[in-house]
Amino acid sequence: MSEAEGIKALRTEAAQWLAEHLTGKYAPLRHRGGSGDGDAFPELRKEWERELASGRWTCPGWPPEHGGRGLSIAEQVAFQEEYGLAGGPGRMGHIGEGLVGPTLIAFGTDDQKSRFLPGILNGTEFWCQGYSEPSAGSDLGNIKTRARLDPATGDWLVTGQKVWTSLAHLSDWIFVLARCEEGSVGRNGLIFLLIKIDQPGVEIRPIRQIGGGAEFNEVFFADARAHARDVVGQPGDGWRIAMALLGFERGISTLGQQMSFAQELDLIIEIAKENGTALRPAIRHRIARAWIGLRAMRYLAMRVLSTDPDGDVQREGLSYKYHWSNWHRDLGKLAMDVLGPEANIISDDWRRERLQQLFLFSRADTIYGGTNEIQLNILAEQGLGMPREPRGTSK
């Protein structure tokens, strides 16, 4: 079977499986739980993860020896697209599948792999990410959370605070970047720890966000215990592990995200036709521009995910986050302008609700995962080789 035929067969299999399973009690999950809607139906979405696992659709890109299907990038993209087309809900298991799993496969001990990979694969254990802190946002190296060695046990006792932790209140484990060497600064002296959330030293406080929901949290640690065997890599080596983890994502899930963007645009066009705004030349041009931006996004993602990207493509890939996040934010504004005065009225019309959430939550898109300003710095410095920003001297 050629690669193209293989992908086609995979698409058929995925579409059919999703049509058969994303139904009945799971039907309310369709198109839900995406960015900004992350706290919708949490328990049902956890069940859905187990349903996915029963069809071997969790972790399809993992190698077979760890329970995955070993799908190529092109195949994973095809699955993401089918998942998006079917209205598959936001994945509760995303952090485990896309970030923790690949990191453990690359850097974890055999013991860590055997204890953690099955829970991710089977949809029984959920993970969240403990990177950002109140004083370490864009400047991630400014982490202040401390990890202190307990000489009696070899465990690490963690004290400090993380913030913007998505779905921490629904997770079982958190991975934490903490400072393990007293007096160290910046990227040195950090440790990458896996910490069980259900213990006395961990407290979670939800943050109510702009749209009213609460999928982010503050996570407080007061001598929370990370067991000696739950250090990934060596103490002091945390920054390298943390950055490698971010590199695993590669944006494959963004192809699925684009399916959801396309549905949002379709919804806006549908409403514009109904309420007559589609007749207005300025709105028509803005819709056309949204369509253009989405096409460009798709082709850019396909080029970035190519098997052998040349130097130009790598440089252009640095644009991807800036492009999609600003595109999405603009789409939110377009949605409100198409709705007109009704955009301000809260009702149980699901279409309006979805677009209002889009409008509000897309403001976060240009902030998390590297703000616009940081993205432009990265593009200028790494992409164009322009001089780096000067660093302040104060701690």
CA distance 97 to 329: 27
Q: Rounded distance, CA 201 to CA 197, Å?
A: 9
**CA–CA gap between residue 387 and residue 380 (Å, rounded):** 8
In the complex, minimum distance from the CB of residue 272 to another protein, in angstroms, rounded to a whole number: 7
- The reply on whether position 387 binds another protein by CB under 8 A is yes
Element (H, E) at 354: helix 350-365
8 binding another protein? (CB under 8 A):
no
Q: Does 262 bind another protein (CB under 8 A)?
A: no
Work out the number of other CB atoms within 10 angstroms of the CB of residue 43: 9
Q: Give me the phi and psi of 322, to 5 degrees please.
A: -60, -45
CA distances for 22 relative to 7, 11, 18, 230, 384, angstroms = 21, 16, 5, 36, 45
Q: Does 322 bind another protein (CB under 8 A)?
A: yes
Smallest separation, CB 311 to another protein (Å): 11
Question: Quick check: 340 binds another protein (CB under 8 A)?
Answer: no
Q: What single letter denotes the amino acid at residue 169?
A: H
33 to 72: interface string for another protein, x by CB under 8 A? ----------------------------------------
Instruction: Please state, as a whole number, how many other Cβ atoms lie within 10 Å of the Cβ of residue 208.
Output: 9
- Asked if 279 is part of the footprint of another protein (rule: CB under 8 A), the reply reads yes
| Min separation Cβ 10 and another protein, Å | 16
CB 290 to another protein: min, Å: 9
Classify each residue of 143-172 as buried b or exposed e, where b means 16 or more C-beta atoms within 10 Å of its C-beta: bebbbeeeeeeebbbbbbbbbbbbbbbbbe
**Is residue 373 part of the contact set for another protein (CB under 8 A)?**
yes
223, 302, 345, 350: residue in contact with another protein (rule CB under 8 A): 302
Q: What is the distance between the alpha carbons of residues 100 and 106, in angstroms, rounded to a whole number?
A: 10
Taking CB under 8 A as the binding criterion, the range among 20-28, 168-176, 191-199, 371-379 that sits at the site for another protein is: 371-379
11 counts as binding another protein under rule CB under 8 A: no
287 binds another protein (CB under 8 A): yes
215 a catalytic residue: no
Task: Give how far Cα 93 sits from Cα of 126, 195, 328, Å.
Answer: 6, 17, 23
Residue 139 contacts another protein per CB under 8 A? no
Interface residue with another protein, options 46, 144, 289, 351 (CB under 8 A) = 289
Choose which of 11, 187, 227, 315 interacts with another protein (CB under 8 A).
315
Check binding of 334 to another protein (CB under 8 A): no
The residue to which tokens 């299907």 are assigned:
69
> Which residues are known to be catalytic?
249
Q: Which residues bind another protein (CB under 8 A)?
A: 269, 272-273, 278-279, 281, 284-285, 287-289, 291-293, 295-300, 302-303, 306-310, 315-320, 322-323, 373, 375-377, 379-381, 383-384, 386-387, 389
